[in-house]
Amino acid sequence: MKCEALLRLMRTCDLFLAVFLVSLWSFCLSRVGFAETVVIGADADALPMGHSVALEATVTLDNGAPGVGYVALPYANVRRWGSHETTDGRGKATFLLPLPNPGPVRLQVLAFPAKDSAVSEWIWVGPPKDNQTVYMATQFSVDDTVRKTTLFAVSDDRSEVFLNGHRLGDANSWQKTTVFAGIEGLMSKGVNTLAVIGSNSSGPAGFLSRLEVETAKGVSVFRSNGSWKGWTEAPPAWPTPKCDEGSAVTVVGRADQGVWAATMSDWPEMQHFSDLLVGTVMPDRGIKSNTVSIKVSYRTFPTPEPSDRLVCIQWEPWFTPSNAYWQTAEAVPVVGYYDSYNRDVLRQHILWFMDLGIDFIMPDWSNHIWGKQHWDERPDSTNDSNLQSK
């Protein structure tokens, strides 16, 4: 119906007017879904230190629809503070933010559009071994002329990448994404083959890729996953093997989980992990909310009555960049992904302990000296600069 109307328009109107209207229509379509605002509100404007304020953020698109599935990150005095949340079907995310420091606090929320729910997976051939070389490949069909192709790849430790038999180059980092752009000339309509020689020096091993293929019909994404085939020796016709003959690769994990996600900051499918960490300064990205100001007052604690019963809590101060990673945690703490030695985190923990009537704490970092006969045998992580400096 729209096409018929357009044809009639082009027959009867000036051609330039029609071109202008089509351009305007395309522009309007491209604007649909573009996020416009984040508005926040709090349930209090003053509270005692260590108490929590309830904060609600609402993401609204410029067409008035709710911004669903946005990642919302709260900030206190322009530093990350509090759990990160995803906006619901009404475009809303709610936070319970404990505020440990007396004085004025300016709260803001940054929102980022949700990434694809599907992510690429780290793959390998069998269990990782030291000084190992493996061969992995996938075949996929493209049913239209290819306009643009981009490959994103990460490897632990190294990979040599081939597209339809042509060597694209190496992806030799597990911390930084290697991008192969402008490779559409190597693509063809029909079946294409992406092949990788993976090498592992020691420890964990994996390869991660995302291939974006643009045609007139849109962008198709081909991810590394369990559909790939793997070999321990180069198969016949390498690097364009028949992929119906290999064994399935081993799926090591999702791109946004596991040990690699802790340091890989530029993978296109992932929220920048560093943005989630407590204490990080607000970046100049994302959609910024209004500011809500809260006055946090100082308070004193009564001296406990003498008692023949003492309450102790075991406290695990092991969340540091070189020890436990939050990517493997099943939940997000109320204060967010924290460093145990962040001053605000320590202060809030102590305020909670005091309100709970805890008499003393037992810090546990025994994992650092587990199984050792002597203090001098302690591992490097015991001497973490975070522990020493704080």
The footprint of Ca ion (CB under 5 A) covers 156-157, 200, 203
In whole angstroms, the minimum distance from the beta carbon of 158 to Ca ion comes to: 9
Minimum CB separation of residue 122 from Ca ion in Å reads 11
Question: Toward Ca ion, which CB reaches closer, 157 or 212?
Answer: 157
Residue 260 C-beta: closest distance to Ca ion, Å: 10
CA dist., res. 273 & res. 137, Å (int):
29
How far apart (Å, rounded) are the C-alpha atoms in residues 42 and 294? Answer: 9
C-beta of 110 vs 249, nearer to Ca ion: 249
Q: Is 355 helix (H, G, I), strand (E, B) or coil?
A: helix
Closest of 147, 275, 146, 156 to residue 224, by C-alpha: 156
For tokens 């067409």, name the residue.
63
The region, left, alpha or beta by phi > 0 then psi within -120 to 50, assigned to residue 217 is: alpha
**Closer of 52 and 172 to Ca ion (Cβ):** 172
Of 165 and 203, which CB lies nearer to Ca ion in the complex structure? 203
Question: How far apart are the C-alpha atoms of 256 and 265, rounded to whole Å?
Answer: 10
End-to-end alpha carbon distance in the chain: 69
Q: What are the CA-CA distances from residue 58 to residues 52, 88, 147, 172 (Å)? A: 19, 9, 38, 41
Looking at beta carbons only, is 203 or 363 nearer to Ca ion?
203
Of 131 and 389, nearer to Ca ion (C-beta) is 131
Minimal CA–CA distance to 157: which of 172, 169, 168, 170?
172
Q: How far is CA 83 from CA 210, 211, 282, 296, 331, in A?
A: 29, 32, 15, 20, 10
Q: Shortest approach of Ca ion to residue 252 CB, angstroms? A: 11
CA 20 and chain centroid, separation: 40
| Nearer to Ca ion (CB atom), residue 207 or residue 319 | 207
Cβ closer to Ca ion: 170 or 184?
170
In the complex, least distance from residue 390 CB atom to Ca ion, rounded to whole angstroms? 31
- Beta-carbon-side half-sphere exposure of residue 268 (alpha carbons within 13 Å): 14
Least Cβ distance, residue 380 to Ca ion (angstroms): 18
CA distance 122 to 261: 11
Shortest distance, CB of residue 366 to Ca ion, whole angstroms?
28
CB of 204 to Ca ion, least distance (A): 5
